[in-house]
Structure 1
Amino acid sequence: MMKHKIFLIALLFSFITYAQKDINGILKTEIVQKHEMGYALHIPVNTKEKKPLIIFLHGSGEKGTDIEKVKIHGPFKYLKTHDLDAYVLAPQCPENEEWDNEVLYRLILKIEKENNIDPNRIYLTGLSLGGWGTYNLGFAHPNLFAALVPISGFVDLIQLEQACTIATIPTHIFHGLMDDVVNLDYAIAIYKELKKCNGNVELTIFDDSGHDSWSRVYDNKEIYDWMFQQIKKQ
C-alpha cells in the first residue's frame, strides 16, 4: 500500500513539474499624465518689436493656486515700482510638487509662440527652490537660455556632475554668507565645477545676508541690465 502511495505522489509531482512553463510577452500601453500650472505674464508696452523674456521661478513658500504669491518676490515685485521693457513669466509650482522641467519647457514654448519674444534673449532666474529649478531647467534645455541667475539655490549631486552642460551660458550665482536654510557650500561647489569647465560664471556672496539674498538682487536695476546684455550665441 505504501509503495502505491509513493508512486502516486511521484506521479503527481512529475505531472505538476511537466505542466509548468515560461512564456515571454510584450505589453504595449500608453500612460498619459496631466499637469496644470498657473502663471503670471507681464507684457511690455511696445510689442511690435521682439522683446526679451525673463522667466522667474519662485521658492517653496509660494506654491499653490493663488497666483498673486508669485508677485511677492522677484521681477514682479520690481515691476510694482519700475518698468521693464521685457516679457516676464512667473509660473506657479503646484502644492506638494517640485519644479517639473517638461511642464516648464512646454509653458515657455507656449508663451514664446503666442508673443513677440526674441528667442536669443530668454533669461532664467529663481530663488531658493527656484534656484534649484533654474539649474535643473538649464541642464535640461541649455540651448534655450541666454543667461541664468540662480539665487540661494541648493544643488543636487547629479547637478554637479552635469555642470559643464551650462558652461557656455553666462551664469551669475548669488548667495548669502549667513544663509541657514540653504548652505553657501552649494553655491561654491557648483561655481567651482563651472570654473573647471571654463564656464562663464560669477559668484556674489553677500556677507551680511541670510537666506533672503534675493531682495537686494531683484530690487536692483543692475541685474536686469546685466541679463539684457546677454545674447545667446548662435
Structure 2
Amino acid sequence: MNQLFASTSLLVLAASAPLFWWNQDDPATRAPSGKELTQLIDALYAVEPYKPASRAEIDALLEPYAALPAPSKSDRKPLSKKIEKAWGKLRELPKKGEHWYWDEKGEPRRGRFFVSGKTSKPKGLFIGLHGGGVGSADASGALASYQGPAGARGWLSIYPQAIEATECGWTDTGTEEWIMTLIDEARRTYGVSPDHIYIGGHSMGGYGSWVLGAHHADLFAASVPSAGAPTPIRDRATENIVAIQEGVVPNLMNLPICVFQSTDDPKVPPDANQFAVEEVKRFKETYGGYENFTYWEVDDRQHSYPTGGPDKLLERIDSFERNPHPDHVLWQPALDWKTSFYWLDWPEPRLNALIEATLDGEKNHIAVKSDGKNVKGLGVLLSSAIVNMDEEVTVTLDGTEVFRGIPQTSWATYVRTALVQDEGRLYECRIPLK
C-alpha cells in the first residue's frame, strides 16, 4: 500500500464513524479511556501532517476535551504508552541504500532518497541536500560528499532528491513536507534524538539548508549551507540586492549555522550570501541573539567545498544540540502548515508577520510583540520546562496584559503536542493572546 503519511484505511476511519465515540451532545466530563482512547489516537494519526488543514482537523477531534485538565502524572505514563504504540505503527524509514518513496506499479516513481550511516543507536541525523537547479537533481552527489564525514560521527544520514528539479526545488512541489516526513520516520525507526538533527547542502543544497533550516529552526540542532544562499530580492532597474526572501533571517535567531562561501565562485557569486549576512547583523543589533551564526568566507575555492572537504563543514556544527526552549524567539511564518515555532503557537499563521517573544523564567512572565497587524489566534504554549506552572504567570501582547493567573492545563493541548513524540515540544497549556 502506498503510504505518504498514514494509511488510507485510517483516513477513512477518521472521516466516518469516530465522532460518535464521545457523545458530543453532552460536555465531556472525563478523558477517553480504553477502546475510545485507542480510536481517538488512531484518528489523530490518520490526519495528514504538514498540510494547511491538518491543524484544524486535529483540533476538531480534540475539541470535546478542551475543558479537561492535562492528565495527572500517574495518568501520563499509560497515555504516553498508547500514543507511542500508535506512533510506532506508522510508516518507518527503510534500511540503508537507494529507495523511492512513491513506487506504485503503473505509476512514475517519485521521491528518490538514500539512507546511509549508523542505524544502531545513531548519535544524530544528518539531512544532506544536493545541488542542481532547473532540470538537474541527483541525490547521489550529496551522498558521495557527506556520507563519509557523517558516518564517521556516528550519524544516520538521509539524502533526499528534490521531487522536481527547479531553482527552488527544496521548497517547491511538496518536497519540504516530504523531508519533514522522512525525519519523522528516521526518529521512529532508528531512535534518533530530536535534539541532534542537522541539515546541510552545497549549491542549491546551500539554499535549501538556509531556508529549511530557518523554517524549522525549532527542530534542528544546526545548519551548514555552502556555496548557496537564500533567494535575494533585486531592484528591477539596477539589479542590486535590496532584500532577502522573508521567513529566513528572523527565524535563525537561535539556530547555530555556519555559512561557507568562496568569493571567486563562478556559479553562485557571493553577493547574496554577503547581503544575507549583513541582514543577520542588522537583526542581531536590533534584537540580540544569533550567537552561533558564523560566516566562513574564502577567496580561492570557486564552487567547491572548503579545503578539507565536507568534513570541515560538519566539524563546525557537530558539537551543537537543539535548544527547544530559548528564552527569546523571533518568528516570521513562511508556511501555512507550520503552526508552532518553539513555544509560540498560531493555528492559522499570517505569513510574513514578525513576532518577537521573550520569556523571563524568574518572573514567570512572557512578553510578546507583534508587527502591529492582525495576530488573531496567536498563542503561547506552556509547560513546567518553560515556567513554574504552580505560580502566577503573566503574559503581555504589545505591552498590554492579556493573562495573569495560574495556568490551567489542558488535556487536548497535552495530547496534541504529545503526538510528535518529542519531549522538547510537549506542552500542558495554551494561552491565547488574541
TM range (shorter): 0.7 to 0.9
Partner amino acid for 1:201?
F
Structure 1 residues 78 and 120 mapped into 2: Cα distance closer, same or farther (>3 Å)? closer
SS at match of 2:184: helix
Is the CA contact (8 Å cut-off) linking 2:258 and 2:317 kept in structure 1? Answer: no
Relative to its length, the structure with more helix (as a share) is 1
1:121 paired with 2:196, answer yes
1:63 paired with 2:134, answer no
Structure 1 residues 134 and 41 mapped into 2: Cα distance closer, same or farther (>3 Å)? same
> Which residue number in structure 2 is paired with residue 195 of structure 1?
281
1:153 paired with 2:222, answer no
Partner amino acid for 1:202?
T
Partner amino acid for 2:160?
P
1:102 paired with 2:102, answer no
Post-superposition Cα deviations, 1:168-193, rounded to whole Å, max 9, x if no partner, equal 10110001110111110111111121
Instruction: State the shift of 1:85 in Å.
Output: 1.0
Q: 1:142-181 maps to which residues of 2 (within 5 A)? A: 142-156=217-231, 157=233, 159-162=244-247, 163-181=249-267
Structure 2 CA distance for aligned equivalents of residues 206 and 169 of structure 1: 23
Greater gyration radius: 1
Structure 2 CA distance for aligned equivalents of residues 154 and 231 of structure 1: 23
> Which residue number in structure 2 is paired with residue 229 of structure 1?
319
> Which residue number in structure 2 is paired with residue 93 of structure 1?
162
Instruction: State the shift of 1:215 in Å.
Output: 6.5
CA RMSD of aligned residues (A): 2.5
Is the CA contact (8 Å cut-off) linking 2:199 and 2:222 kept in structure 1? Answer: yes
SS at match of 1:183: coil
Structure 2 residue runs without a partner (length 5+) = 1-101, 103-108, 234-242, 285-289, 325-434
> Which residue number in structure 1 is paired with residue 95 of structure 2?
none
Q: Between 187-196 and 51-60, report the one with greater CA deviation.
A: 187-196
Structure 1 residues 161 and 127 mapped into 2: Cα distance closer, same or farther (>3 Å)? same
Instruction: State the shift of 1:72 in Å.
Output: 3.0
Structure 2 CA distance for aligned equivalents of residues 148 and 219 of structure 1: 14
Instruction: State the shift of 1:92 in Å.
Output: 1.5
Instruction: State the shift of 1:159 in Å.
Output: 4.6
Is the CA contact (8 Å cut-off) linking 1:54 and 1:87 kept in structure 2? Answer: yes
Instruction: State the shift of 1:78 in Å.
Output: 4.0
Is the CA contact (8 Å cut-off) linking 1:135 and 1:159 kept in structure 2? Answer: no
With the length of structure 1 as denominator, give the TM-score of the two structures. 0.72
Instruction: State the shift of 1:96 in Å.
Output: 3.1
Using CA pairs under 8 Å that are at least 6 residues apart, name the structure with larger relative contact order, 1 or 2.
Answer: 1
With the length of structure 2 as denominator, give the TM-score of the two structures. 0.41
Instruction: State the shift of 1:154 in Å.
Output: 2.7
Structure 2 CA distance for aligned equivalents of residues 96 and 68 of structure 1: 14
> Which residue number in structure 1 is paired with residue 303 of structure 2?
211
